[in-house]
Structure 1
Amino acid sequence: MTALTFATLENFVGKELGVSEWVAVDQQMIDKFADCTGDRQWIHVDIERARRESPFRTPIAHGYLTLSLVATLAQDLGIMPENTQAAFNYGLDKVRFVAPVKAGARVRLRTTLMSVEEKGPGQYLMKAGNTVEIDGDERPALVAETLVMLYERRRKAGA
């Protein structure tokens, strides 16, 4: 397979860049996210009430917790071109939370390169289509179009 480099990036548009390993979204992760964000809504953190009152009969992960996993799982896929000096989140074009992630579920990321646009010398805007899949569920947890600004490591003069 051709290596993913800045010179070959255009060749990968429309192609799947990879699928991550499965990651467990357990109650401890959900509770830590709630602590960090202050979002302690019962549907996420109150196990007994969720069993009684939630339509899912168990706590569910915050949508933004699931969304936050996209960046980490994408890094684990190694989808940055060789010779990337830096990569920064640039934004989102579209996010849809399709299905809840129940506490204890496993999720993984599937990423496709949608476009790449040169923004300046050694600077590229990469748009990726991301699907967070739930193990055993036909519906994904979410679909998101992410934008990442990439900076190519420049060779030093005389090197």
Structure 2
Amino acid sequence: MSIENYSVATIGDFVGRELGVSNWVVVDQARINAFAECTGDSQWIHVDEERAKRESPFGGTIAHGYLTLSLLGGFAIEIGIVPKDASAGLNYGLDKVRFMTPVKAGARVRSRVTLVSAENKGGGRILIKTMNELQIDGEDKPALVAETLAMLVA
């Protein structure tokens, strides 16, 4: 995606504005299982479908919170938070994350991103903070809200 008139030179004009909304992505059981395998987090509520149907308050398995958080990186690229004229955009960290609603296996999620700040750090570097809301299709409350930081290199 490309944000009209969004560049290293104009980024300050976008503070307080929504940068975009990603496409929907399905968080299916295969993705949840792959995340569990990759991270070693095989808690039953994520990977044991039969037990989760019986014992989970959600009626089935749910995605790991960190899986949903990790989706923000790809969504940010899709939306285009790194201006095309920047030579790089590097993950700089998180200021705040709140997991608000579990993502059930099979649910669709997307990210809505707003630029919170753009701070010139000198040497062609700009530290940006974005507010990310991971929305769940059909749910009123988001899965999570997170303030993410990225260092742009002009």
Instruction: Please say whether Structure 1 and Structure 2 have the same fold, judged by a TM-score greater than 0.5.
Output: yes
Displacement of 1:3 in angstroms is: 1.0
| Identical amino acids, percent of aligned pairs | 61
Distance 2:90 2:7 in 1: 17
Displacement of 1:7 in angstroms is: 1.0
Displacement of 1:6 in angstroms is: 1.1
TM superposition score normalised by structure 2: 0.97
Code of the aligned partner of 2:45 = I
1:86 aligns with 2:88: yes
Matches within 5 A, 1:1-159: 2-152=4-154
For the Cα contact (< 8 Å) 2:135–2:141, is it kept in 1?
A: yes
Secondary structure at the counterpart of residue 70 of structure 1: helix
Displacement of 1:82 in angstroms is: 2.4
For the Cα contact (< 8 Å) 2:82–2:88, is it kept in 1?
A: no
Distance 1:131 1:151 in 2: 25
For the Cα contact (< 8 Å) 2:129–2:147, is it kept in 1?
A: yes
For the Cα contact (< 8 Å) 1:4–1:80, is it kept in 2?
A: no
Q: Which structure's CA Rg is the greater one?
A: 1
For the Cα contact (< 8 Å) 1:22–1:106, is it kept in 2?
A: yes
Secondary structure at the counterpart of residue 64 of structure 1: helix
For the Cα contact (< 8 Å) 1:5–1:83, is it kept in 2?
A: yes
TM superposition score normalised by structure 1: 0.94
Distance 2:74 2:31 in 1: 14
Displacement of 1:2 in angstroms is: 4.6
Distance 1:89 1:81 in 2: 14
Runs of 4+ aligned residues of structure 1 deviating over 2 Å after TM superposition are none
